[in-house]
Amino acid sequence: MTTTFISTQVIPSRERLIMALDVPSIAEAQALVETLGDSVIFYKAGMELFMSGDYFGFIEWLKQRHKKVFVDLKFFDIPATVGRAIRALSSKGVDFATIHGNDAIMAAAVQEKGDLKVLAVTALTSLDRGDLDDLGFQCDIRELVLSRARRALHIGCDGIVSSGLEVPLLRQELAHRLLVITPGVRPVDNREDDDQKRVVSVEQAFQNGADYIVVGRPIRDAENPKAMAEKIQQQIAAQF
C-alpha cells in the first residue's frame, strides 16, 4: 500500500489552491482575478507584479474582495533589514510571506511577523541537481530541503515552500508541525518551455503531504481559466 501524508491542518478546501499572479501588470492581474471570480480565494503576488506598479494598492484591492494574499518576495538581506520589512508587511493584512537566508534572517523575520505567517524557502522548484552544483551546494537536494525545514521549525517559522517531491521526507521527519506550500504543481503534462523542473500533479502534491499548492500558468494560460481553476478545486476536494 502506498503511504500517504494527507494534511491534518484545518483549512477550507477551496483555500488550499493558491493562484500565482505571474503577469506583467496590475491591470492584467485584476482582470484575471475578476475572470476567476469565486473559483480562487488565495492569490500569490510576486516580484513581477511588485515591479509593475501599485503593488500594495493591489493587495488592498484583493483584501477588499475578501481574498487571501501570499506576498512572495523572498526577502533576503541583513537580518535587521528583513525584520523591518516583515514588520511593515505585517500591518497590511497579508496572510503569507516568503523569506530566504540563514538562521539569523529567519529569526529576525519571526520576531517581527505578528499575525503574518512566515514561510522559509527551501530549494526553488526551478533548480535541479546540476543547478545546485553550479551554486556550490554539494549535498543532495532532499538533504538540503530537510536541513532548511528543520532550521525553520526550530526558529519558529510557520511553514516552508517545498517541491512536492521532497514533502514525504519532510512529513516522515517533521510530521505536520510546519505548513508546507508546494509550487510547481501541474494538473496536465509539463510543457517543454516550462522552467519548473521538479513538478508534481495536484493529487500527488496532497498525497505527499502538502497543505497548499501554488498553480499559475496552467490556470492563466487555459482556454477557460475559471473552468481550469474549478477543475483543480474538484481535484483538491476529492483528496479531503
- Quick: pLDDT tens for 30-60: 999 999 999 999 999 999 999 998 999 999 9
Marked catalytic residue, from 63, 67, 68, 74:
74
Let me know if 74 is a catalytic residue: yes
> What topology does CATH give the domain 13-239?
TIM Barrel (3.20.20)
Give the Cβ contact number of residue 103 at 10 Å: 12
Task: Identify the DSSP state of 39.
Answer: G
> Mind listing the pLDDT tens digit for each residue in 102-130?
899 999 999 999 999 999 987 554 445 55
Q: Which three cell numbers stand for residue 210?
A: 502538502
| Domain chopping of the chain, boundaries | 13-239
pTM given for the model? 0.90
In the chain, which ranges are continuous DSSP H helix? 26-36, 47-50, 55-64, 79-90, 103-112, 129-135, 141-155, 167-174, 202-208, 217-220, 225-239
Q: Can you name the residues that pair with 212 across neighbouring β-strands?
A: 181
Dist CA 82 CA 75 (whole Å): 6
